[in-house]
Structure 1
């Protein structure tokens, strides 16, 4: 019985290899900046007893602070 011929397969590049380029220089400072700005926003709100950073927002200042920090945390998913 004749043996079957084996085909040589082309080497496969790992998925996402084209997007494995490093981040720009500004990416990490902006990412940490958003996280720190959100934290500072919430701390200022509590220390000033709601008078700062935006008095018209009232308790929504907490959500704004968490939203800013969340943007920074979302940026960590793209950090290489």
Structure 2
């Protein structure tokens, strides 16, 4: 299964990893609670892909500069 990392705010593609070649515990995914995993990871089993929501540098900087953006569902769209 392939892991594809995308920004949770602007949906920018950030990178991909082949899950068969990486230890999930080193990625920190196994240390998440079930609720956190449900919020962060979504699966497309037809394509054998898992999408991992993270935050890109641009969105991180924007939210740090304007914390009120974090209250919006889609702050940078």
Work out which of the two has the higher radius of gyration on C-alpha atoms and give 1 or 2: 1
Higher helix proportion: 1
Scaled by the length of structure 1, the TM-score of the pair is 0.23
Scaled by the length of structure 2, the TM-score of the pair is 0.24
Higher strand proportion: 2
